[in-house]
Structure 1
Amino acid sequence: MYSAAHAKRNGVHGKNKLAPLYLRILKSQSEWPDKDEFLDVIYWLRQLVAIIIGIIWGILPLKGFLGIVLFCMVNTGFVYIYASYYQQVDESEFGEGWEFAKEGFMTTFAGFLVTWIIVYTGIHANDSAF
């Protein structure tokens, strides 16, 4: 049985009913009883961050290895900070921090590259240094 304070803190409404997923994503220290659901959230947040970074890197004339390394650092750092500090999820339940780091990384990397290339080419195609 949940206490009123526990229900309010974790976004639980009624008896044993979790808050909708989007509210748990936005609310700090939400309850995640299903590990796969939290890993799905990590996956899709990582996809969103990758597209945003791809757009930013395309607008800025970032090229080459520097852009790739910065993407890896920002994307992995964002996921780690979200999971460990914002949601305060116990890493040991998910197989240490590597589970967060590798969850959907390659598909995210592909989405980032496609976005980065399209935006960069669309904006900087007529530049003389292209």
Structure 2
Amino acid sequence: MTSRVQTHDRSGSTKATPLKEICSRALAPKSEWPDKDEFLDVIYWSRQIFGILLGIVWGIIPLKGFLGLVLFAGISCGVVYLYAINFQAIDEEAYGGPWELVKEGFMTSFAGFLVTWIIFYTGLHYDAIMAAKA
């Protein structure tokens, strides 16, 4: 049984695309994206994974404060933009401009990043936090 991803286009019709096909297009440079929503889904889910990975790294380092937030936003937006423009060579205007690409999935990724960062930072550095308070 193969996994299929259901996408809904703007006209309301449903289309099922094999997950393997979407992943192979996402990893291949300059792929064709006949369905714009599939490409936006790739950005969305990639950003979720990337946010969790950055949260783990920030928790291990231990990075804290405003610097961690700004670095996450800059790296996350920069990676998405470079992936879309340089690696996939898409026309940003076809997707509503650079802002639409950069903001796709940002807030949910930010939430996942924060939760992961807080859990890892607290779990790994609890003793140092308590020693500083004493």
TM-score under structure 2 length normalisation:
0.81
Paired position in structure 2 for 1:88: 89
Matched, 1:22 2:28: no
Give the secondary-structure state (helix, strand or coil) at the position aligned to 1:71. Answer: helix
Q: CA deviation at 1:21?
A: 0.8
Paired position in structure 2 for 1:36: 37
2 CA distance for matches of 1:56 and 1:90? Answer: 32
1 CA distance for matches of 2:70 and 2:119? Answer: 19
TM-score under structure 1 length normalisation:
0.83
Q: CA deviation at 1:72?
A: 0.1
C-alpha distance after superposition, 1:75-116 (max 9, x if no partner): 000100100000001001001101111111111100000000
Paired position in structure 1 for 2:76: 75
Paired position in structure 2 for 1:109: 110
Give the secondary-structure state (helix, strand or coil) at the position aligned to 2:127. Answer: coil
C-alpha distance after superposition, 1:29-56 (max 9, x if no partner): 0000111110000000111110110000
2 CA distance for matches of 1:65 and 1:99? Answer: 25
2 CA distance for matches of 1:49 and 1:101? Answer: 14
Corresponding letter in the other structure for 1:116: W
Question: After TM superposition, what 4+ stretches of structure 1 lie above 2 angstroms from structure 2?
Answer: none
Q: More strand by proportion, 1 or 2?
A: 2
Q: How many residues align?
A: 114
Paired position in structure 1 for 2:132: 129
2 CA distance for matches of 1:23 and 1:105? Answer: 23
Q: CA deviation at 1:129?
A: 3.4
2 CA distance for matches of 1:58 and 1:20? Answer: 34
Give the secondary-structure state (helix, strand or coil) at the position aligned to 1:28. Answer: coil
Corresponding letter in the other structure for 1:129: A
Gaps of 5+ in 2: 1-17
